[in-house]
Structure 1
Amino acid sequence: MELLTVIQQVFYSILGKIEKIITTAIGRLWSCMVFAFTWTITWIGETREILVYLVLAAALLDLFWGIASSIKLKTFVLSIGFTKTCIKLAVYLSILIIIALAEKALAEDWNLIFRLTTSVLIVAEGVSICGHILIIKPDVPVIRLLWKVLRSEIAKKLNIEVKDLDEYVSNNIKENKNGTKS
């Protein structure tokens, strides 16, 4: 794959995830919950620094689960996973630097927009992680509750149409119960 193509894919994927989170009720709810959580982490240290670490941790967890799901799908290519993660981290950090600079210009210790931005980015990574987990183990009860929200994310990761997803998952659950590998 050409690097510019990969950068473009990652950038549009990030924009799509952010748009999905901002426009759906469950995405806004999760973002509000993460946003509320950001107020409790101030006792650990500098707020912006800790939030950047949380975004980095979420992106690295997504890489880990992405590797695991691609091994399950027998499409594992480590270099592409690392490349996309590095590009994603560069985009995330660029966004956060711009937000931090703009917010510093407004007020020294405000952090409100920075907290909102990191909340949305963490939720975007969380949706991706849940999608990977459902690919690996589609009968996980807790994540199965999020099925409707994650349908398009999982279909994108499997490279299939959303309408074919139910058939794929039911076959995968049957194979897991029978003890065979897909």
Structure 2
Amino acid sequence: MKRIAFYFIGGCCIISSFIGFSQYGIATGIICIVVGVLFISAAHGTSSTASQQESTLPSSAVQQEEIRGLVFNVAGVSFSNESGRIRSRQSILRKIHFEDPPFDSGYEVRLERYIFEDAPAYYVYVNDYIVGNVPKEFIHYLEENSDRKYVVDYFNTYGGGKNKNFGAEMKISFIDT
């Protein structure tokens, strides 16, 4: 709900900048735009520049110790689960996004390895619900680092709205022991 309020306040500030320009001058209009952008970026979560820098994958020649973490969009979020109380992954992501029960008091995100078409794959679980999968291009790095522990640095949901699916982005970091 906090995210929605920030988007709303940010949108109102940007819209009010038109009044600021016309009635109070250029400086007031610019200030309204800047404040609106700040609220919207706060609602969006972490800075996009940090996400873009982290999402660059290391080349295969990089040593295992240098692989610190992965940032990726969760794949398969529009599929349905075969079992469980809530089968629609979109419904689960919607509940997470709006902090509806059972996700209103927090949640735990984890990866679980399984075999799909004779190849390793990883589910993304939030509490006991499958919300998607790790994309294929990241499986190689997870397999190479399967002996290392990891932490989920963040898990953000996005999207929704009219004719838009919900999605999720997450970052995991490997812990060197």
TM norm. shorter chain > 0.5: no
Larger helix proportion of the pair:
1
Greater per-residue strand proportion: 2
TM-score bucket (shorter structure): under 0.3
Decide which structure has the larger Cα Rg and report it: 2
TM-score (norm 1): 0.24
Q: TM-score, normalization: structure 2? A: 0.24
